[in-house]
Amino acid sequence: MRGPGRVVIWCAGALAVLLLSLLLARTHPFGDAGLYAARSAPLMVVEEKAMEHAAVPPAVRAILMTKCADCHSAQTRAPIYGRFAPASWLMERDIVHARRAMNLSLWERYSADEQEALKAEIVIQAKAGTMPPVQYGVVHWKAKITDADVQALTQWARGTPSQHVTDAARQGLMEADAARGKEIFKRRCTGCHAMEQDREGPRLRDVFGRTSGAVAGFDYSPALKKAHVVWDETTLEQWLADPDTLVAGNNMEFHVAKAQERRDLIRFLKESAGR
């Protein structure tokens, strides 16, 4: 068959594939949290814009909403290609996983501890270049995290550096408690650290009394390798209050703002090391 007949058959086949893709796009293999299901039956009712009333600097909110919110919020902007399978399935998968990890539409519902942990994780992923994902960045090239973005996110995550505890200030604090410190560790630290194994941060079982950069096989920052800091009450206090004041250029994006929580956490780490 030649000429017009072949063209008609080709067009009919292409139309059939298009219609099939449109029909398959209505299937949600990743559940009701998928892209289109979220429009008709969302997991939560969100009437306001994500982070609209959160205590977040405007510049930081702009970065998060422009470069993260498509997957990490309930306000996904669906591109044309996202209406066809299997592209729609890939998008739904990414959105479902992203919302489980962090949902900016629910930012104000997270506890202070959860927000601090998420801030640290945002900076870690931004510095590593793992967010946004490659498949997203290829299409949304404007979503690339710039050095200026990283700097703004880092400043936001670290906040105003806490003042180190002075002798006078210590008089107003409770005695350090290892049990409270253990709870703080579970809430605030386990996203990156474990006691017995390396994660994004090195294992912490015997960190008290250990020299910085000493865990074999762990990929420390060059700055921390060269620092040779011995971890004790004083150095851990400085490190937890603001890591950069102790070792500039390290990869730690987390701090503990409250002096009492730092004392409790240090006591827990000390007792865990048998000191």
> Residue 74 and residue 81: Cα distance in Å, rounded?
19
Beta bridge partners of 211: 230
Q: What is the biggest distance separating any 2 CA atoms in the chain, rounded to whole angstroms?
A: 94
Express each pLDDT in 183-209 by its tens digit: 999 988 988 899 999 998 999 999 999
Burial degree of 248 (CB within 10 A; 0-12, 13-18, 19+): exposed
For 230, the 3-state DSSP assignment is strand
**Domain holding 207: CATH number?**
1.10.760.10
Question: Are 23 and 145 contained in the same domain?
Answer: yes
Question: Are 146 and 71 contained in the same domain?
Answer: yes
Does the pTM surpass 0.85? The reply is: no
Q: Whole domain around residue 153: which residue ranges?
A: 4-44+51-158
Question: Are 153 and 174 contained in the same domain?
Answer: no
Question: Are 19 and 115 contained in the same domain?
Answer: yes
> Residue 169 and residue 163: Cα distance in Å, rounded?
10
Last residue of a domain, one of 158, 191, 209: 158
Question: Are 136 and 241 contained in the same domain?
Answer: no
Total domain count, the chain: 2
Question: Are 23 and 60 contained in the same domain?
Answer: yes
Express each pLDDT in 7-43 by its tens digit: 566 666 656 655 555 555 556 565 554 444 444 334 4
Last residue of a domain, one of 126, 158, 190: 158
